[in-house]
Structure 1
Amino acid sequence: MRRPALRATGLVLAAALVGGGGAAVAATGPVPDRGADARADRPASSAMTRSAAKKSLRVATYNLSLNRATQGQLVADLSDGGNEQARTVAEVIQHVRPDVVLLNEFDHDDAGEAARLFRENYLEVPQGDAEPIEYRYAFVAPSNTGVPSGFDLNNDGTVGGGDDALGFGLFPGQYGMVVLSRYPIDADRARTFQHFRWQDMPGAALPTDPATGEAWYTDEELDALPLSSKSHWDVPVRVGHRTVHVLAAHPTPPTFDGAEDRNGRRNHDEIRFWADYVTGGRHARYIYDDDGRRGGLHRGASFVILGDYNADPADGDSYDGAIHQLLDNRRIQDPAPRSEGAVEAAELQGGANESHTGDPALDTADFADTAPGNLRADYTLPSRNLRIRDAGVFWPTQDDPLSRLTGTYPFPSSDHRLVWVDLKP
């Protein structure tokens, strides 16, 4: 079948309007970062030394749940500095102080206004007892979430709603993402894969209807259906003389479907995409980006895979060892970030956590205790040519004063925790 026309204009438009920066990158004015050498809390609130902080590149991922039910609501909520949830997640970021951070579940708007407002009204303003932090560079681009497909993708007999969008969402851009960086982003070399079609992945785990054995999606639906439920981004960040590729994504949860497991299979292949991309060579020949460029990452490139991948290596509903496609990849290393707060939460909450076989210290998300329980869903996975200095999950124990930032359900910030890794650049 003919590959659909590729479109990349949304990236340039959306990103160029954030703070008036160049294509795909936004730069605010040079405001001094008053907290550049402030302490960065470990999960138990221990501090890095000033010298260690200067020698490390701290990269993080944070699903901060800044999604809203209606289009434009996030911009309205961030228009001043008074939104409590935004203040709380901003304080988490200020305490951990990553140099580069991927924000998941941050609603996209074409003007990039929400990203600008979050930086100016929250991150660059002291929250609680934390110091402000400035990110001069931001990468934003459209998401497949909430984009109407025009098809009955969930086969319920009607067309419309979140389940029939190209990626689940009630409006275009819901559950989007943003990369913030204190180092320059190389906009000209950035790649997005929003429109790569699922069917164009060789051996794709496409679903079948268990009642009939026939393909779940029609040929017409597959012609329109992308692999990415949001998007996949390769965002090159220049750190001194070295480039580190931030590989950002947020695969769909492997739930909210039926026996056909269409979401579980899509989650699996969204994760596989990065495994093939970083392996490169013949494994990545099928890949094309939104500008029509083919192939994966060149051998020897440095990268960090970031995001909420909605897949635990031991527990939960993942399809066919989904996250092991990354954890077992020879080009990737797992820093296995841990926290004492996750162990404490699993013990206190019980329920589904009692039947888990994975190490609770690695959990990054506090989910319902009946099912699926707390899971490791969020990852910071560097290439093997980067040296890991340290890693952790911001999940303080209840006797830590900073536990007010994570809390218990209903959470003051998010049901996910910020995950970070320190690298020798």
Structure 2
Amino acid sequence: MVLAGLPAGADALRIASFHTQLTREGPGLLLRDILRGGDGQVAASVAVIAAAGADVLVLQEVDFDADGLALAALADAVEAAGLSYPYRLALRPNTGRPTGVDIDGDGRSWRARDAQGYGHFNGQGGMAVLSRHPIGAVRDFSDLLWADLPGSAAQAVLPQAALPVLRLASVAAWDVAVELPGGPLHLLALHATPPVFDGPEDRNGWRNADELRFWALYLDGWSPGGLPFAARDFAVIGTLNVDPSRGEGRREGLGALLDHPRLQDVVPRRPGGGMETADWPDPVPGDLRVDYILPAARLTVTGAGVLWPEGEEGALPASVAAMASDHRLVWIDLAWPPE
């Protein structure tokens, strides 16, 4: 059942982003947990997704498998809860993909921090799209080398051996066209690295900033393949992992998006008015805004929010949302088709 007060109208399109915790310590374990039933965290995640009632949903931190079995099983569970997503996308992420280089300088080159993106196995904590509408062309920029981003910080913070190897995207970077009546909507989807867990060189802080700046450059007409981005209707969507004013992070990367003339930030709010999207321990890091949907400036936003229930009454109790993830789902409604 769609959460009361949230359903999009007939002339609106709801898009959402949800940083789940649908990741496990080994390949195949997420599929096992979904199929056998009885896993409270999986059930809570399904409840959150069903309650949001999004037409298109971008998921972060969901384990990837080559045959898409876990994502299909998740979609089946969501359908059993009343919401059908016949169109799905999951591409192999950079998480857990070996580099063969000692990235973190601990004398070993095979550990999770030496992978293209942090992960104990390739595919751990990937990204996916669930959609009620067909998925069209996809541009996957996940293989772009960090050193190949114009003006990148890679040369200053990486060991020399990593420069020809390490990719910019710690998880993934996709331009996904969702085919809608009235024209395609492009999801510029990412899950940027947390700007912490490094040393004084601030490698992850700089990488995070460059992962965000990539999309600002893309909107300005630059792309790795030389083909400029020409879509009219789009949204940058995903976990950017930086708060506008608090916590760790180099905010110039976030600023390049929040201040970009082709984007708008409608600042989705919790029911109590806060803009935070992650429920983290107080006082450090505390609750922060790290999950975003930034639609094109030309689009009309008719509603927005952070699905953060504050009590145990209603269709989605607060305890269920907390069990699903320490992040909360973010949604916006767009007037569609656009004028």
**Structure 1, residues 155-183: CA drift from partner, whole Å, max 9, x if none?**
11222211000111000011101101001
Name the residue aligned to 2:28. 72
CA distance in 2 between partners of 1:111 and 1:257 (Å) = 34
- Offset at residue 296 of structure 1 (A): 3.5
Amino acid at match of 1:152: D
RMSD: 1.7
1:125 aligns with 2:75: no
- Offset at residue 271 of structure 1 (A): 0.6
Structure with the higher strand share, 1 or 2: 2
Amino acid at match of 2:305: G
CA distance in 2 between partners of 1:106 and 1:413 (Å) = 12
Paired residue for 1:267, among 201, 204, 208? 208
CA distance in 2 between partners of 1:242 and 1:403 (Å) = 33
1:340 aligns with 2:284: no
CA distance in 2 between partners of 1:66 and 1:47 (Å) = 24
Q: Is the 8 A contact 2:15 2:57 kept in 1?
A: yes
Name the residue aligned to 1:370. 283
1:422 aligns with 2:304: no
Matched residue count: 336
1:309 aligns with 2:240: yes
- Offset at residue 403 of structure 1 (A): 5.6
1:150 aligns with 2:100: yes
Q: Is the 8 A contact 1:391 1:421 kept in 2?
A: yes
TM-score of the pair, normalised by structure 2: 0.94
Secondary structure of the corresponding residue to residue 324 of structure 2:
coil
- Offset at residue 279 of structure 1 (A): 2.3
Q: Is the 8 A contact 1:207 1:265 kept in 2?
A: no
CA distance in 2 between partners of 1:250 and 1:405 (Å) = 25
Secondary structure of the corresponding residue to residue 217 of structure 2:
helix
Paired residue for 1:201, among 146, 149, 163? 149
Q: Is the 8 A contact 2:93 2:142 kept in 1?
A: yes
Name the residue aligned to 1:163. 113
Q: Is the 8 A contact 1:198 1:204 kept in 2?
A: yes
Secondary structure of the corresponding residue to residue 90 of structure 1:
helix
Query: Which runs of no fewer than 5 residues in structure 1 stay unpaired?
Result: 1-37, 127-131, 209-214, 344-360
Paired residue for 1:319, among 247, 250, 265? 250
Larger-Rg structure: 1
**Structure 1, residues 248-275: CA drift from partner, whole Å, max 9, x if none?**
1100000001111000100000011111
1:329 aligns with 2:260: yes
**Structure 1, residues 125-144: CA drift from partner, whole Å, max 9, x if none?**
12xxxxx1000100110101
**Structure 1, residues 200-233: CA drift from partner, whole Å, max 9, x if none?**
111112364xxxxxx5321x31101110001101
Q: 1:11-410 counterparts in 2 under 5 A?
A: 40-41=2-3, 45-48=4-7, 53-120=9-76, 122-126=77-81, 132-186=82-136, 189-206=137-154, 208=156, 216-218=158-160, 220-280=161-221, 284=222, 287-288=223-224, 293-298=225-230, 301-341=232-272, 361-398=274-311, 400-402=313-315, 404-406=317-319
TM-score of the pair, normalised by structure 1: 0.76
- Closer/same/farther in 2, CA of residues 224 and 216 from structure 1, 3 Å limit: closer
Identity of aligned residues (%): 39
Q: Is the 8 A contact 2:44 2:320 kept in 1?
A: no
